[in-house]
A and B are shown apart, each in its own frame.
Chain A
Amino acid sequence: MTRFLTRRQFGTLVTASTATLAMPGILRAENAGRLLIIGGGFGGASAARFAKMNYPDVSVTLVEPQTSFVTCPYGNLILGGKRELSDITHSYDGLRARGVDVIHDRAQEIDADGHRVTLASGDVLDYDKLILSPGIGLRWNAIEGYDEAASEVFPHAWWGGDGSQISLLRAQLEALPEGGVVGLAIPDNPFRCPPGPYERISMIAHHLKQANPTAKILAFDAKEGFAKQGLFEAAWAELYGDMIEWIPASADGRIMRVDPENKLFISEFGEEHRVDMGNVIPPQYAASIARDAGLANDSGWVPVEPRTFEAEAARDIHVIGDANIGAPMPKSGYIANSTAKTAVTAALAEISGRPAWDDPVYFNTCYSHAGEDYGISVAATFRLSEDGIAATPDSGGVSPSGELSEMARTRRLEARYADAWYDSITDDMFS
């Protein structure tokens, strides 16, 4: 069996130990080390698959509460009517078939000194190395009045979960009265998926243009600028006319309070905006398991050693994905996937005798769909420098700008590249 020995199982397994000793194959596998991965998203699933493919003797266990994974990327396309929930839902069976022990439970507590993790069920898993890829926590009540109950009225749809949040947002969009107002509250940096809110605005507009063309989108932002801003704003003007109004912090765009009962967004300077439906993307921090383990600093995110992603606060715990401080790398699925491989290699260097990469390169492309056959992107590679991780000069950039009449082919191609990216990366996680 590949499952780690849990304390609860220990008694029942004592009698089997002599049989295990007689099976040198299994014994060797146990000696090859136990890699525990918490979180089955872009970071964790990528790490599990990569570890099993490259270190077949290592026992790999993945703990993830959801029995299937709903991606945040391409969730916005559900709003645009271009995808169904089933299109962005992925099974863990592929990882199981590769020999990953997938446990659907919630990791509750990390004992870093004891190298063990307690699950919600009470089971305890021992590890040699831990890859922690827990994702984000939402800062409930950071926007006054925005708590878990409020998210049933004003969905955040900022984690995949069981898909209910994005489905709720889609249902509200379909039920929007003619000429109704859609409000979005967008947080300050840093947050998961920097271009995500703006792709979301685009996909909502894409839907409304056909279904409810007199509707209005008010996008309240706590920032002064955003990823791919020039490209997005050009797309909005070209495709959606004056449907979208983006309100930066300097125009009182920072939303401080919400009133779900009366459907109000209240701004920093006290202006009350009535909306027919609202999407509140609240400020974020690392998921609670990382903060509770004392791995995060005052910012709420986890500082890591940039070569190995080992947490600064604990040995043998490598923190990847949105929970860590990886700037200037964005909190993106692609970076979680890319850094997962370095983290696994570093974590298993000692055990496997194969050294960690001394000059890792991280790749990121954030594609966004701004409309039908209208893709835009920002790309970069990152490497280690004397000051930590740095963007490689001239390694990427954003899509070219220009009138749609001249750029139609480029935009259409980038939309197809985006689809291909999605298929490739989910293969690299789950197949």
Chain B
Amino acid sequence: MSTMSTPRIRLPGSASEGEEIEIRTLLTHPMITGVSSDDPRDMLTRFEARMNGETVFAYDFENGSAANPTFTFFIRAAAPGEFTFTWTHEDGQSVSAEESVSIS
């Protein structure tokens, strides 16, 4: 597999209680299926976002998933959150990023 790149995350550092916050993530990855070229397969299998240990958003990649997967999703900030974002490769390796949102 190619080296897993550093994830990019954007979310507000703080939110008011009950506010809907936008979370954007981007991982640069070629997502090569190996179907349409001689390049060896190099695909992510899953993206998962956890808030305080609980999965709040997940996506399973398929052959139709484009390169450089980007996700934008919204979450209601009911309590301070410790977020973990994890991208898992088909070969089992993964890369993670952590961010926190405080309630002001």
Contact = CB atoms under 8 A, between A and B. Distances in A.
A250 B67 contact: yes
Interface string A240-258: 0000000000111000000
B41 interface: no
Given A250-B26, A251-B28, A252-B26, A269 B70 contact: no
B10 interface: yes
B8 interface: yes
A269 B70 CA distance: 11
A270 interface: yes
A270 B10 contact: yes
Interface string B62-76: 000001101000000
A250 B8 CA distance: 10
A174 interface: no
Contacts of A270: 10
Interface string B17-29: 0000000101010
Interface in B52-89: 67-68, 70
B95 interface: no
Interface residues on B, range: under 10
B63 to A, nearest CB: 19
Nearest to B27: A250
A252 B6 CA distance: 12
Contacts, number: 19
Contacts of A268: 8, 10, 24, 26
B70 A250 contact: yes
Interface residues on A, range: under 10
Contacts of B26: 250, 252, 268-269
B28 A269 contact: no
B9 interface: yes
A251 B68 CA distance: 8
A269 B68 contact: no
A387 B60 CA distance: 36
Contacts of A250: 26, 28, 67-68, 70
Contacts of B28: 250-251
A251 B26 CA distance: 8
Which residue among B10, B28, B70 has the maximum number of chain A CB atoms within 10 Å of its CB? B10
Interface string A255-290: 000000000000011100000000000000000000
Interface string A45-76: 00000000000000000000000000000000
A252 B26 CA distance: 8
A292 to B, nearest CB: 31
A252 B8 CA distance: 8
A255 to B, nearest CB: 13
Contacts of A252: 8, 26
A269 B10 CA distance: 5
Nearest to B69: A250
A270 to B, nearest CB: 6
A252 B67 CA distance: 14
A431 B10 CA distance: 54
B6 to A, nearest CB: 10
A252 B5 CA distance: 13
B23 to A, nearest CB: 11
Interface of B: 8-10, 24, 26, 28, 67-68, 70
Given A252-B8, A269-B8, A269-B24, 5 more contacts: A250-B26, A250-B70, A251-B28, A251-B68, A268-B8
19 contacts: A250-B26, A250-B28, A250-B67, A250-B68, A250-B70, A251-B28, A251-B68, A252-B8, A252-B26, A268-B8, A268-B10, A268-B24, A268-B26, A269-B8, A269-B9, A269-B10, A269-B24, A269-B26, A270-B10
Lowest 5 CB-CB distances: which A-B pairs, in order?
A: A250-B68, A269-B8, A269-B10, A252-B8, A270-B10
